Amino acid sequence: MTRFSSQMGEVITLEVDWTAGKFIEVDGQPCLNMATHNYLGLQGNDDIEESAIKTLKKYGVGSCGPRGFYGTVDVHLDLEEKLAQFMKMEEAVVYAYGFSTIASAIPAYAKRGDILFV
């Protein structure tokens, strides 16, 4: 059972079946489980697992992906090129951590009238 208050102030109780997976059941209704890292239902997909292992063997692991620490690798450049083409822009820049992007990169690059996606 999950309890929470509605906008009207009354307490609402929902019966939730917390099975692991893309969907959960709330009061008998299937709902997309947005409270999990697997809301796309990709966990357990053999193709994704194989690709992840291959990528880990090639690039290794780290706590984050800043270029100043790990360097620029081909996937950074490929992603930026594809994003620029998709957005019909000359260039795109990808940062690994949203908060630091807001605090450092945006003030350095952005000017009035620019469109930013964070």
- C-alpha span between 110 and 42 (Å, rounded): 35
Residuewise pLDDT in 10s, the chain (118 residues): 445 555 666 776 766 666 667 888 887 888 888 777 777 878 888 999 999 999 999 988 876 666 767 778 898 899 999 999 999 999 988 877 767 777 777 888 888 888 877 7
- C-alpha span between 95 and 80 (Å, rounded): 10
- C-alpha span between 4 and 12 (Å, rounded): 6
Please indicate, yes or no, whether the overall pTM of this predicted structure exceeds 0.75.
no
End-to-end CA distance of the chain: 35
- CA neighbours closer than 13 Å in the CB half-sphere of residue 93: 15
